[in-house]
Amino acid sequence: MPLNERDRIEILMMIGVGDRMRTQQEVCRLFHEMHPDREPVSQSTVSRIERKYRELGHVRDAPRQGRPKINENVQQDVILSALENPHCTVRQVSRDLNIGKSSVSNIFKKVKYHPYRVRLIHELAEDDFDRRTEFCEYMMDHNNQNNGFIANILFSDEATFFLNGHVNRQNTRYWSQENPHWMQEYHTQHPQKHNWRNAHNTNQSDGGPSPLASYLTETEMITMVRLKAVGIQTKTDSGKTKVACGMTSEDF
C-alpha cells in the first residue's frame, strides 16, 4: 500500500532530530509495530523520504504529469449533446463545449458510442417490384437455355455525383450505443454528373471510367457498348459476338 503524506510525516518524526535520531532499521521496526496491519516499509523508503525532506523541505507528492482526468460533468455534457442531436460531429461538440476533439472522441469511446452511417436505399415506384420479378425470371430462363449466358454478360455501373447537397454517407453519422438501422430513401431526379464503367469476364482489362453528360438513353448505351467493348468481346459457337446482356452484335 503506498504511503500518503501523513505516513511520510510520521516516519520523519520517528527519525527524530539531533542526538535523538533513530537508524533506518529502527524506524522500519517502529513503524511496523505501530501499524501491524500494514505492509512493512523498507529502509530505502525511509532513506528516500528523509532525502526528499532535506532537499525540498516537504514530503508532498510531486505534481502529476500528463493529461488530467476527464471531468464527470464534462462527460455528461458530451453524452447529452449526442442524445439531443445524434447527428452531431466531434468537431461540433468540441466547439460547443470548448473541449478538445480528442477528449470528445475518448468520451464517446468510453461510453461505447459508435458513429453509425446512414444506409441509402433506392426509392421504389409501384411497378418496380413487378419489373424486378420479370428480370429475375428472364435471367433464369436464359441461363437454363444457355449455360454460358452469365459468362458472356457485359456488366456496367454508374457513379453519380449530386450537385444539390445530396446526403454524403461519408459525412453523415448517427451516434448511438446500438445500431439504429438508420435508412433514408433517395431518388435520382437531381442535377448531377455520371461516370460509367464496364467489366467483362475475360482476362483482358475492363473499360476505364468514362464521364457522361446525362443519363444514358437506349441509343447512347448501344453506341457506348460498341465503343467500349472493343477487345473484350467473346465469340459464341454460332460465331456471333456477345457484348451485352441478352444481345448480340446483330441486335443493334
Predicted pLDDT of residue 164: 52
Amino acid code (one letter) for 45 = T
Q: Is the residue at 245 inside a domain?
A: yes
> What is d(CA 2, CA 16) in angstroms, rounded to the nearest whole number?
22
Predicted pLDDT of residue 245: 39
Domain residues for the domain of 79 are: 72-112
Residues 146 and 204 in one domain: yes
Q: Is the residue at 180 inside a domain?
A: no
Residues 133 and 220 in one domain: yes
Q: Is the residue at 94 inside a domain?
A: yes
Q: Is the residue at 201 inside a domain?
A: yes
Q: How many domains does the chain have?
A: 3
Residues 45 and 150 in one domain: no
Residues 101 and 204 in one domain: no
Residues 139 and 236 in one domain: yes
Q: Is the residue at 174 inside a domain?
A: no
Contact status, residue 89 vs residue 81, Cβ threshold 8 Å: no
Predicted pLDDT of residue 59: 86
Residue 63, SS3? coil
Handedness of CA 236, 239, 241, 244 (dihedral sign): negative
Predicted pLDDT of residue 213: 46
Q: Is the residue at 20 inside a domain?
A: yes
Residues 48 and 135 in one domain: no
Q: Is the residue at 65 inside a domain?
A: no
Residues 152 and 202 in one domain: yes
Sequence-ordered list of residues with C-beta below 8 angstroms from that of 108, at least 6 positions apart, any chain: 78, 82, 90, 114, 115, 175
Which residues in the chain come in under a pLDDT of 70?
1, 65-69, 120, 122, 154-173, 180-218, 220-222, 224-252
Q: Is the residue at 67 inside a domain?
A: no
For position 108, which CATH number holds? 1.10.10
